[in-house]
Amino acid sequence: MLKKLIRKNEQTISNDLMKRKEIAQQEQLPDHIAIIMDGNGRWAKKRSLPRVAGHYEGMKTVKKITRFANEIGIKTLTLYAFSTENWKRPKLEVDFLMRLPEEFLGTYLPELIEQNVRVKMMGNIETLPEHTKRAVMKAMERTASNDGLILNFALNYGSRDEIVQAVQKIVNEVQEGKISTDTVSEELIDNYLMTKDLSEPDLLIRTSGEVRLSNFMLWQLAYTEFWFTDTLWPDFDEACLMDAIESYQKRNRRYGGLKGEEVN
Ligand code: FPP
């Protein structure tokens, strides 16, 4: 009896989600969604589990959200998986986080290939442990010709570091006479960032109730719509993503200008 009731309830939830998905697909979807996945540690603490258990659960959410984002028609999903500042965490936690890409890709890569997902990474790949680098490179190579959803991991990524690297490259090229200072423009800077082949995020999501950017895509988020939720990342699900998308679809993006009807 109870099992039947639970199944009926799940069916109602999934029908409701399907309806919301169909309605959202009739309007402008965000092409690029970027997510600061936060709250894994608190999720674990609430259950008296070690922090790494929260990260493991967070990895499962990554699978769920990637599948759903692909299904709904999102073009790019950027996930902040490890920042240049996260090295300050205890070694055990860092080692665990560095194993997650392998764990994730080890079980999920065939599905990503089948689903036409292209895996990308932004961040300093050179200073990652060999095993992490190998797993990520393999996934990037094996999915390079896919043209569906771009699943872009920000791994060992820091926005200030990215900007410093871009400035260094530009200065070098000016010194070598390859470009002149008067060609330095927003477009040129875009081309020296780790996101040079991606569109700017339309929607930024941060979970767990924290309302800050934590050194994430500072340049690229200039005109992005922000959406914050108290939900901890391991509890984030398809319905939460729909909440964020529906909120985005009600926004009035003006990019500093006015909408047509407001001009007079
Ligand atoms: C922040 O939560 C989360 C991280 C630093 C790691 C995020 C990583 C994942 C969600 C898994 C990544 C999966 C793949 C496939 C690479 P926190 O630990 O700071 O949480 P807290 O603020 O509650 O302590």
Q: In the chain, count of helices (H) and strands (E)?
A: 8, 6
From ligand 1's centre to the CA of 56, what distance in Å? Answer: 9
Domain that holds residue 46: 29-158+200-231
Query: What is the number of domains present in the chain?
Result: 1
**Residue 72 belongs to domain with CATH number:** 3.40.1180.10
Residue 168 resides in a domain = no
Residue 1 resides in a domain = no
Residue 34 resides in a domain = yes
From ligand 1's centre to the CA of 173, what distance in Å? Answer: 37
Residue 237 resides in a domain = no
The closest residue, in CA terms, to atom 10 on ligand 1 is 58
Residue 212 resides in a domain = yes
- Known binding-site residues for Mg(2+) equal 38, 225
Residue 121 resides in a domain = yes
- Known binding-site residues for substrate equal 39-43, 51, 55, 83-85, 87, 89, 206, 212-214
Between the two ends of the chain, the Cα-to-Cα distance in Å is: 63
pLDDT in tens, 134-192: 999 999 999 999 999 999 999 999 999 999 999 999 999 999 999 999 999 999 999 99
Residue 261 resides in a domain = no
d(CA 187, CA 196): 10
Residue 7 resides in a domain = no
pLDDT in tens, 47-100: 999 999 999 999 999 999 999 999 999 999 999 999 999 999 999 999 999 999
- Please, are residues 51 and 41 in contact by the beta-carbon 8 Å criterion? yes
d(CA 75, CA 205): 16
Active site residue 38: yes
